[in-house]
A and B are shown apart, each in its own frame.
Chain A
């Protein structure tokens, strides 16, 4: 692959950048050097704590208090930015270097209209008249495919979804035609479909305006799809730098290899059970609706149908993946099956008994056989309890176990999830991945027959995701529970699922064995989801033929 302008002077040239915490107590970035060439799409890859965000903030001289650049140069447009003071940076921020942040929900000011926020930059950096500014804003909003841009200018940020807000953010940054755009995990908070929209628009706009893009991400899939070059950071050090197909297909450094290996891979399908079994969970005609918004003191709008006449079977020992974009109702379905959310019609049969109409005792028996693993490992554990207490808690409903047997079971389970010896810790003393292991241990300690896992790995780093997925898979193989695995990440689903169920707006649009759904998706929505999922290894395998294992075909 050849790069346009690969011989031209770089837009940004970082030399021996060093960033310290509290005057040298800890070094966050060591001796980092890289160039960004005009018009190129460069990815900065690394896990949490690798210093990638700090490096990006240093470029804009936006380091948080207590953290400072202690060495090196950041040369932009022939001048070292680190010698500029706050006032001298102002003409650079915006027209020189633009930045898109990770969290679209908080990066727009909620009390100002979109139009005012977009116009701010142009008013400050150009001498355009109000009418011209308005025209440019409208133009740009159209460019990022916001429907009805006129209305958008007068709307407030809360009226838009996360993906739309990120597009608006992108529009207001690109209005100033920066030479360099820094995007710090711009789509991590979005679902697969919005992620694709935002990044495709970003690439298109950058190409139109000749902007170079520095994309900071932990997602190698995005790197493979969008970037021309990548640099890999580990604990603040530059580990590897290289052109994109090569660095993913044939990484030179062990750390890069580890990141690439963490990409989800499809594994051989389990042999189907010989005799058809009675399903463990049968959902029949389930409906869930939320009460409508208040329309007056006594009146409400019509209820919103979240789950609509839904049927689903889950067999014993089966791993069923439930996929869909944000708002498709997949989380609500999981919670409704467990009766954590109320449902309004239909049946939920567990081993033949209707759970929806169960009385207290029957519901208690049902709960004893079921468990839930939450998405956010930071809020699903009681901060005041030690790990061993958290894991032991479900056992208090098993009177057959005495104290010694309980202790033994807790110990065994912690051992199984790889948390041996951490029982006396509090949740805040653990990392995200370890916390999610605690949550899994809590769910499995009672040997449930059915587990609902709601996005259990989406809050974790790529390598940790891979570890937790593998752990989950091996535990499932060992204990043989049935599992409803809810996820918007088709890559993870491909690795783990036996059967895939695709949901759109409260209905199942397609379901079938994993290989069938992934290889021959029949419904348009499934096809769109699959197309939006970055599949780095597969797409690269076409350009660089290489006898690798079948990954994400």
Chain B
């Protein structure tokens, strides 16, 4: 119980700060994150620029804040889309079985066979490199693993005796699925979704790093990191700031995910 509280607290504070920063950044940042000041470029952290300036003299703190809102929005939307698609397809495959299952899973496994980033790259090329393109591409890359998890869970749950008991009561198949199977899928899916949030942040950064993410000059943690690369030795804060942002977010998400899993399981409620 004590351990659970520390997890929740640390995770909650990290993610809370991130969300506040992301929300504030949408309305206000200390400087214009796109405002170029070539005379004040590559300045180390100071009273005026808390986290220094980059190679175009842009305020790193403002850019990191703005990037937080972009990155979080992309990650949230991607996780939501991938989980929704994964749940629908996974439940369908696991519950209907037969040919539906075989066809869906064959398609799903084909997608899984591609490395996620490669798949996302391919989709990005087709739909274009913008915010929505990234969301779509990353959802396609991540949905198959959700499908796998959901289908497996449904397959094992549908053999439980309480599912059979529900059938004996006279409940229809759809009601049984809704009332007895879906709620019991929530815990594994929630855990997967939280860790997925982390992967998506990383993938988005990786895409930006490869130049296929949100196009510059709009900041994301990934493209900040990628443009900081040449200055790694001379201006270490440039890569340290986005790097730390990504690391702390991942830490927060994982801690929160762990306590979420414990919360979602009634068996651990009162122990």
Residues of A at the B interface (CB closer than 8 Å) are: 338, 340, 364, 367-368, 370-372, 374, 376, 379-384, 393-394, 396-397, 426, 428-429, 439, 442, 446
The listed residue with most B CB atoms (<10 A of its CB), out of A381, A384, A428, A429, is: A384
Interface string of B242-268 (1 = CB under 8 A from A): 000000000000000000000000110
Of the candidates B166, B168, B267, the one whose C-beta lies within 8 Å of that of A426 is B267
Which of A371, A393, A428 is the one whose CB lies under 8 Å from B166?
A393
Q: Is B169 an interface residue (CB 8 A)?
A: yes
Contact of B270 among A374, A394, A396, A429 (CB under 8 A): A429
Whether A383 contacts B267 in the complex (CB less than 8 A), given A372-B164, A372-B165, A374-B161, comes out as yes
Q: Residue-by-residue, is B149-193 near A (CB-CB < 8 Å gives 1, otherwise 0)?
A: 000000000001110111111110000000010011000000000
Q: Which residues of A contact B270 (CB under 8 A)?
A: 429
Among B160, B168, B269, point to the contact of A371 (Cβ < 8 A): B168
Given the interface pairs A374-B161, A429-B270, the reply to whether A382 lies near B180 with Cβ below 8 Å is yes
- What residues of chain B lie closer than 8 Å to A393, measured between beta carbons? 166, 169, 171
**Which B positions have Cβ atoms within 8 angstroms of A?**
160-162, 164-171, 180, 183-184, 266-267, 269-270
- Chain A residue at minimum C-beta to C-beta distance from B167: A340
Q: Which of A384, A397, A428 contacts B183 (CB 8 A)?
A: A384
Q: Could you tell me if A379 and B266 are in contact, using CB atoms closer than 8 angstroms?
A: no
Residue among B160, B169, B269 facing the most chain A CB atoms (10 A cut-off): B169
Bound together, the chains give a CA A384 to CA B264 distance in angstroms of 9
Pair B168/A380 contact, Cβ less than 8 Å: no
Contacting pair A380 B170 (CB below 8 A): no
A412→B183 CA distance, assembly (Å): 28
B266 partner residues in chain A, CB cutoff 8 A: 383-384, 426, 428
Bound complex: CA A384 to CA B170 (Å): 20
Which residue in B161, B166, B183 is a CB contact (below 8 Å) of A376?
B161
Distance between Cα atoms of A394 and B167 in the complex (Å) = 10
Query: Beyond A374-B165, A393-B171: 11 further Cβ-contacts under 8 Å?
Result: A340-B164, A340-B167, A367-B168, A380-B160, A380-B161, A380-B162, A381-B162, A393-B166, A396-B171, A429-B270, A439-B165
Chain B residues with Cβ below 8 Å from A374 are: 161, 164-165
B165 touches A380 (CB 8 A): yes
Q: Which residue of A lies closest to B183 (CB)?
A: A384
Determine the chain A residues whose CB is within 8 A of the CB of B160 once the complex forms. Answer: 379-380
For the complex of A and B, the 7 pairs showing the least CB-CB separation, nearest first, are: A380-B161, A367-B170, A394-B169, A382-B162, A374-B161, A428-B267, A397-B170
A370 touches B168 (CB 8 A): yes
Q: How far, in Å, is B131 (CB) from chain A's closest CB? A: 37
Residues of A contacting B168 in the complex (Cβ-Cβ under 8 angstroms): 338, 340, 367, 370-372
- Give chain A nearest CB distance to B205 CB in angstroms: 37
Give CA–CA (A340, B160) in the complex, Å.
13
| Least CB separation from A454: chain B residue | B161
18 of the cross-chain contacts (CB-CB < 8 Å) are A340-B168, A368-B170, A374-B161, A374-B164, A379-B160, A380-B160, A380-B162, A381-B165, A382-B162, A382-B184, A383-B266, A383-B267, A384-B183, A394-B170, A396-B171, A426-B267, A426-B269, A439-B165
Chain A residues with Cβ under 8 A from B170's Cβ?
364, 367-368, 394, 397
Residues from chain B with a CB closer than 8 A to the CB of A367 are 167-170
CB nearest neighbor in A for B181: A382
Residues of B within 8 A of A372 (CB): 164-165, 168
Asked if B184 contacts A383 (CB within 8 A), the reply is yes
Complex formed: what's the CA distance from A95 to B160 in Å?
A: 43
Query: What distance in Å separates the Cβ of A481 from its nearest Cβ neighbour in chain B?
Result: 14
Chain B contacts of A371 at CB under 8 A? 168
B162: nearest chain-A partner, CB-CB: A382
- Inter-chain CA distance A371–B165, complex, in Å, is 8
What's the Cα separation between A426 and B184 when bound, in Å? 14
CB-CB under 8 A from A379, the residues of chain B are 160-162
CA distance A245 to B170 in the complex (A): 51
Q: Which residue on A lies nearest to B265, using beta carbons?
A: A383
For the complex, give the distance between the alpha carbons of A380 and B162 in Å.
4
CB nearest neighbor in B for A448: B168
In Å, the complex CA distance between A425 and B183 comes to 18
Provided the pairs A383-B266, A384-B184, A428-B266 are in contact, do residues A397 and B161 lie with their beta carbons within 8 angstroms?
no
The interface residues of chain B lying within 8 Å CB-to-CB of A384 are: 183-184, 266
Find chain A residues with CB under 8 A from B269 CB.
426
Closest CB-CB distance, B175 to chain A, in whole Å? 9
Name the CB-closest residue of A to B165: A380
> How far apart are the CA atoms of A384 and B184 in the complex, in Å?
7
Write the chain A residue with the least CB distance to B175.
A396
Closest CB in chain B relative to A441 CB, distance in Å:
12
* B270, closest chain A residue (CB): A429
Q: Which residues of B contact A383 (CB under 8 A)?
A: 184, 266-267
Question: Across the two chains, which residue of chain B brings its CB closest to A394?
Answer: B169
Measured in the bound complex, the distance between the Cα atoms of B160 and A113 in whole Å is 32
Please measure, in the bound complex, the distance between the C-alpha atom of A364 and the C-alpha atom of B171, giving whole angstroms. Answer: 9
List A contacts of B267 (CB < 8 A): 383, 426, 428
Contacts of B167 in A (CB 8 A): 340, 367
